[in-house]
Amino acid sequence: MSESSRTPVLLIVDMINPLDFPGGASMRPLAIEAAKRLAKLKKRFRNSGRPVVYVNDNFMDWKADFKEIVAVVGHDTPGAPLAELLAPEHDDYFVLKPKHSGFYETPLPTLLEKLQAGRLVVTGVATDGCVLATATDAHIREFDVHVPRDCVAAISTERTERALALMKASMHIDVRTSRYVDP
């Protein structure tokens, strides 16, 4: 399959998140702003018929499925506004992950193969944690990776900027804003 016929896929990393961890209160306003822009990007992907994949932490609840996690997070947690802004739709995909990278010990590689993915747009939280790990693993697997700087957040703007600078300098990942994403 030629590279031009490969599908762009939107990965939403850990945005269904209770934000109940150390630093979560600092991340909350930054994550909400990122979620507002990400909701617009998600709509563009959906309107273009492109896949949206939620790649989410299971928060050490090994018996929960994604719908249960969405329900718990969306009800009276500091992260509830994120779940409201980015509510998964019936035809969105989801992958629960046990660690930082969406690729580590998950079915994400198989799903991306079935979707004929070529370009991954990696968004979410935390820029310097799970987003960085997922983008790095995508780069290692030779995907074309874009991490739109306005659709990610960490516990501080400085931490986000450091992670984005690292991705751009060491892996040549596109970190321009979501305006430059073409679903």
Closest residue by Cα to residue 126 from 10, 21, 37, 44: 21
Range of the domain at 151: 3-180
What pLDDT, on the 0 to 100 scale, is given for residue 2? 42
Residue 57 to residue 95: CA distance in whole angstroms: 9
The total of structural domains in the chain comes to 1
Q: Write out pLDDT tens, residues 93-149.
A: 999 999 999 999 999 999 999 999 999 999 999 999 999 999 999 999 999 999 999
The answer to whether residues 78 and 35 touch, using CB atoms and an 8 Å cutoff, is no
Q: Is pLDDT of 151 > 50?
A: yes
* 20-54: pLDDT as tens digits: 999 999 999 999 999 999 999 999 999 999 999 99
pLDDT classification of 1: cutoffs 50, 70, 90: very low
CATH for 167: 3.40.50.850
Please give the Cα distance from 32 to 96 (Å, whole number): 21
Q: Are 138 and 111 within 8 A, CB to CB?
A: no
CB 173 within 8 A of CB 121: no
- Residue 62 has what pLDDT? 76
